[in-house]
Structure 1
Amino acid sequence: MAANADLSDFLRTCRANTNPETAGIVAPDAAAGRRVRGLRREEVAQLAGVSVDYYTRLEQGRHSTPS
């Protein structure tokens, strides 16, 4: 279970510390509608090529054997 917690912490930290501009996500009103400082889960999942549900399970530590 510790590995799941480590992965969860890593993913949350990386997502929070990456801004949309650095990741190449540009929207005309990007700053106005953002409630989070970093990337949204949907944006990370899209960039990684995985489903939002899969990424959410990874980040929440609910996946036993991530690929």
Structure 2
Amino acid sequence: MNSNTELGEFLKVRRALVSPAGDGGPRRRVPGLRREEVAVLAGVSTDYYTQLEQGRHKRPSESVLGALA
């Protein structure tokens, strides 16, 4: 497993553990936040976040990693 894949797996697991605020919305098929929601919170595009999660982006900057943390 390479570090890109490890980062992607970590992001997926962490995203699944975070509940959306206000639980009064429609039921979700998958637990946790949607990729779009994480991207907005981290200040990155949904496409970029998806690339990180899928291990397709080589080197995210420290500021992006900090925002995701």
Whether TM-score is above 0.5 comes out as: yes
Alignment of 1:29-48 (within 5 A): 29-30=24-25, 32-48=26-42
Q: Mean alpha-carbon deviation: is it higher for 45-54 or for 33-42?
A: 33-42
What is the percent sequence identity of the aligned residues? 59
Q: Quote the residue 2:65 is aligned against.
A: none
Aligned AA (1:5) = T
Unaligned runs of 5+ in 2: 62-69
Deviations 1:36-66 (CA, angstroms, capped at 9, x unpaired): 2100000000000000000000000000111
Once the two structures are superposed, what CA deviation does each residue of 1:3-60 show, in whole Å capped at 9, x if it has no partner? 0011011100000011112xxxx37x41x24222100000000000000000000000
TM normalised by structure 2 equals 0.78
Count of aligned residue pairs for this structure pair? 61
Does residue 1:59 correspond to 2:16, yes or no?
no
| Cα root mean square deviation, aligned | 1.6
